[in-house]
Structure 1
């Protein structure tokens, strides 16, 4: 996927960046992919069962392939020699961990209870979505919005570690302990930390290692100029193709459930829409308030607003079944998340004018 031309905009004194022609129509491609997935799942007999049956270690192989293709080009662009400048930014790291693991799950729990008081299955599914912090597509949105690639890589890695350590504990708290205090009738969640670790290793670990080795070996063999000017533009569009393929496969899995229950989808969509916008807006304001640069504020906002719907769907299906309301809520997640976060990419680029100068802790990243 091609990255927007940033020019000299990191100084805050020049015109905002423009998306490439390919990326400018991204909402159109995503809408077509959603429609194609829904139609395939609805009209082709046995397709959902066939896709769901193709698994390796409990992971859907078609979805895994799409994610690997989507993630690799973006992670191959990361300047890994600059990661130390991100880890030194304690304001960014502490803010991200607090927003993702304290604020995010609590906000989703509150929205699910307030807006879906009579639909406990959907409410449970949304809470699972809130617990699954984003480790995949956030890199795409961050890249389109000209966020800090290196910061995104670090924050995604931290979310991956915390996902393994905290998902089960937070699931017990929000699905067992807290609902009991509030008088809600919800079933508990029992998911193995090893299963989560395996999903993280596939969706993030493999493309991260591949991206790091590609940049390291490519620059060593041909130089940085060749790598960034010749190699990256060639593999960049693969990210978009992988994204669209993943969306088609994902929506094909529950196309019939989505098209057969439009009112249920609308009920689930309202708390999701509120959640994504609220988390993004609060994080963006926090970044500006603690004097982060535009690039890192954007990264903070998208890593807070995005969710790992692949993991949420896998957990909901594994615990409650593929036809459950919890699984349907997980599938509706990307239906709402994808267009909303694409829209927030444009809002981010517009909001860039309110940020002046790079982060004080490190020089602005070289976009050449």
Structure 2
């Protein structure tokens, strides 16, 4: 993050040059980093075990409610409560709350030793709902609900096609690549070779891709972030509250309904994370690259990355204290694998 911010601030024209490398509104440098980041994790997924996840109604229903009912409503409430005098930033945060995570959450889940198969299913579920519901929820939270409450209204101009492109690039490509890798690798060399030889070789690239993505992301907006520190601080406050409430509430819900550590962890991270790539793209397309809405979208990962990394450690500590036995050892990675 520091390297990206410094490069964006000190190298003239770097942010503009990186931003220009885009196709259909998708930043190619960010897409490259996310593909490299997600492929190794999705190649580790045991796709023959996905039926054990799709049959877990507690997990699926909890995830849908957290992601598409409570998450957007909580961000709407925090944005209006803490930024009543800053309408551009408030709108940007509401957009962030509507963009449910379909990419980087896979890394946080893996580092916290969550259930890989459950993460793949929940991320795919979020992707489907993102294409179907994002535009409608944007209309509801920016126009309809403020009108009912007598608050200033805004408009969101985004088509389902643009959202679908984001889903295909950031999830579809690495998901297909990971699935084909396991199918072809196991058929050609066997499962033992695939899991003991192939996966350890590609595993480190997930973190390389994560670091590359973070550097590029902050290089793109380094000047905007460092030149407006007070605005960044105002935007950061509701974001901190949002991540803490969503993660802790999801974790408590998972434990209350009897989920294992692995699936509780997956539920918490998939509910707390956001699709900042989509949120930034929507804010820029609708309000402009220099808008306050775009800045609020950029500040999202500035806060999300360190907070969710910290929550990985909190989750691992909670496993030792609250989960004495592992109820699903076959579906979760070991710390060495992560």
TM-score, shorter chain, exceeding 0.5: yes
CA-CA distance at 1:72 after TM superposition: 0.4
Deviations 1:85-121 (A, max 9, x none): 0000000000000000000000000000000010010
- Identify the match of residue 288 of structure 2 among 321, 325, 331: 321
- Identify the match of residue 355 of structure 1 among 305, 323, 327: 323
Bigger shift: residues 182-191 or 295-304: 182-191
Q: Which residue of 2 aligns with 1:92?
A: 59
For residues 363 and 73 of structure 1, what CA distance do their matches in structure 2 show? 20
Q: Which residue of 2 aligns with 1:215?
A: 182
Q: Which residue of 1 aligns with 2:213?
A: 246
Q: Which residue of 1 aligns with 2:239?
A: 272
Q: Which residue of 2 aligns with 1:260?
A: 227
CA-CA distance at 1:260 after TM superposition: 0.6
CA-CA distance at 1:351 after TM superposition: 0.6
Q: Which residue of 1 aligns with 2:201?
A: 234
Deviations 1:148-173 (A, max 9, x none): 00000000000000000000000000
Q: Which residue of 2 aligns with 1:47?
A: 14
For residues 230 and 151 of structure 2, what CA distance do their matches in structure 1 show? 23
Q: Secondary structure at the match of 2:100?
A: coil
For residues 31 and 208 of structure 2, what CA distance do their matches in structure 1 show? 14
Deviations 1:28-71 (A, max 9, x none): xxxxxx11111111111111111111111221111111111011
Q: Secondary structure at the match of 1:183?
A: coil
Task: Note if 1:146 corresponds to 2:104.
Answer: no
Q: Which residue of 2 aligns with 1:66?
A: 33
RMSD of the alignment, in Å?
A: 1.2
Task: Note if 1:285 corresponds to 2:245.
Answer: no
For residues 104 and 366 of structure 1, what CA distance do their matches in structure 2 show? 26
- Identify the match of residue 299 of structure 2 among 292, 310, 332: 332
Q: Which residue of 1 aligns with 2:50?
A: 83
Runs of 4+ aligned structure 1 residues displaced above 4 Å come to 356-359
For residues 254 and 121 of structure 2, what CA distance do their matches in structure 1 show? 16
For residues 240 and 327 of structure 1, what CA distance do their matches in structure 2 show? 26
Task: Note if 1:165 corresponds to 2:132.
Answer: yes
- Identify the match of residue 365 of structure 1 among 310, 331, 334: 331
For residues 329 and 105 of structure 2, what CA distance do their matches in structure 1 show? 23
Deviations 1:103-143 (A, max 9, x none): 00000000000000100100000000000000001000000
Matching of residues 156-195 of structure 1 within 5 Å: 156-195=123-162
Q: Which 5+ residue runs of structure 2 have no aligned equivalent? A: none
Bigger shift: residues 183-192 or 124-133: 183-192
Deviations 1:247-271 (A, max 9, x none): 1111111111100110100000010
- Identify the match of residue 294 of structure 1 among 246, 261, 264: 261
Q: Which 5+ residue runs of structure 1 have no aligned equivalent? A: 1-33
Q: How many correspondences in the alignment?
A: 333
For residues 69 and 323 of structure 2, what CA distance do their matches in structure 1 show? 26
CA-CA distance at 1:364 after TM superposition: 4.5
- Identify the match of residue 311 of structure 2 among 335, 344, 356: 344
TM-score in terms of structure 2 length? 0.96
